[in-house]
Amino acid sequence: MATHTITGDLTIKNITRSISIPANISFVGDKILVTTPEFIIDRTDWRLKYRSAELGTAPDLLIHDDVTIAVTFDALNTPL
C-alpha cells in the first residue's frame, strides 16, 4: 500500500499533463527513498499516435496506447 500520492506535471513532446501516482516514501539516514507501483499512462494523451489503435492500425502492426511505468529513486535529504 502506498504511503503518499505524488502529483506533478509530465511533459512529453512539449505537451504537459498533470498526473497523480501512488508512492512509497521513506527516510533512511540522510536519504529519501521513493518507489511507485507500476502505473499506466495513455500515450495518445500526449499525441503519440504512431501505429495507435486509435488510427485503425492493423492488429499485427499495433503499438499499444497504454504505457506502464514504475519509478524508483533515492536522494540526499539535506537542509536548505
Measuring CA to CA, which residue among 5, 22, 68, 73 is closest to residue 42? 68
* Residues of the domain holding 53: 4-76
* pTM of the predicted model as reported, rounded to 2 decimal places: 0.73
* pLDDT tens digits, 57-79: 666 667 788 999 999 999 998 87
Query: Which domain CATH number covers 31?
Result: 2.40.128.110
**How does pLDDT run across 10-63, given as a tens digit for each residue?**
999 999 999 999 999 999 999 999 999 999 999 999 988 877 776 666 666 677
pLDDT in the model for residue 8: 95
Residue 4 CA to residue 19 CA, distance in Å, equals 14
- In the chain the beta strands, taken as DSSP E runs, fall at 4-12, 15-28, 31-35, 39-42, 66-69, 72-76
pLDDT of 32 = 92
The number of distinct structural domains making up the chain is: 1
